[in-house]
Amino acid sequence: MSLFSPGDEQRISAAIADAERRTSGEIVVVVAARSDGYHYVPPLVGALLALLVPWVLIFFTTLHLVPIYLIQLAVFLFVTLALMPTPVRTALVPGGIKRMHAHRRAVEQFLAQNLHTTDSRTGVLLFVSVAEHYAEIIADKDIDAKVSAGTWQAIIDRLTDAIGNGRPTEGFIEAIGAIGSALATHFPPSANDPNELPDHLIILQ
């Protein structure tokens, strides 16, 4: 995935480390190329179109059963193969379903990155799924109990605007800084504050 150059990744990782120096919270940033392969879409569309084929042929031709079946099979195979490329099958998925998959992947990453196991329950995940054009912040319960409603969404809105304007790296750096500032207000650094989770940008292909 070419959203970031190696230099961009280093800048974002440095922003994570800088934000965590100002708070006892833990920030993890995950960028996924996509949240699902949607491999079920081409055969599903192919099957639906293939089901229509016999009706058309029965009413408008004099073909017998075997040729109709072979044409139906050919339609299914052709449509399935034509829709198999990743950009094509992803574009066919309704936005609501893509958001559902992306949210599920975000929750999975919150657990996979052990953000729910920090000592003070102060883990925050910034998750972006590129193919679905989806971004979300998930915070552990102790943070959500103190950070005002709308804070995370405002950060996400600025991040998506920056990405849409061709400034993804700056957008991520600004978002991470804003998350750090929100955490620092309620969870300042303490004398005994181990760095429990990695500070580098995590990219999932």
Q: What is the pLDDT of residue 2?
A: 63
pLDDT digits (tens, 9 = 90+) for 104-133: 999 999 999 888 777 677 889 999 999 999
pLDDT digits (tens, 9 = 90+) for 139-195: 988 888 888 889 999 999 999 999 999 999 999 999 999 999 999 988 888 766 666
Mean pLDDT of the chain: 90
Angle at the Cα of 163 (from 160 to 168), degrees rounded to 5?
125
Which 8-state DSSP code applies to residue 116? G
- Does domain 6-36+94-204 fall under CATH 3.10.310.50? My reply is yes
Q: How many whole angstroms separate alpha carbon 123 and alpha carbon 118?
A: 6
Q: Residue 197 above 70 pLDDT?
A: no
Q: How many whole angstroms separate alpha carbon 88 and alpha carbon 30?
A: 25
Phi and psi angles of residue 31, each rounded to the nearest 5 degrees, phi first: -120, 120
Global pTM value: 0.86
Q: How many whole angstroms separate alpha carbon 161 and alpha carbon 158?
A: 5
